[in-house]
Amino acid sequence: MDNTEKHEDIGLQQIRDKITIETDYMYYGWVAIDADSYDGPESLIGSGRTKQEAITDLLEQIYDSAE
């Protein structure tokens, strides 16, 4: 793991600590949203084959949008 990956991991954990994540299983896989800021279809939605993949996808989207 290089320094960039370490900083990203720290950033993702800091985001995770500040938001309320809700997950749900849909017919195509898991989805995750930030319950504190979700405001319909324009909001960020994480998705994945597993619950953890959906959460990670959401956190990465939030992290990328903050840069």
Structural domain boundaries enclosing 33 = 3-66
Tell me how many domains the chain contains.
1
* More confident call, 57 vs 67: 57
Q: What is the pTM of this model?
A: 0.78
Q: How far apart are CA 61 and CA 47, in angstroms?
A: 11
Burial call 31-61: b when 16+ CB within 10 Å, e when fewer = bbbbeeeeeeeeebebebeebeebbbbbbbb
Q: How far apart are CA 1 and CA 47, in angstroms?
A: 25
pLDDT at 37 over 70: yes
Tens-digit pLDDT profile for residues 6-25: 545 666 677 777 789 999 99
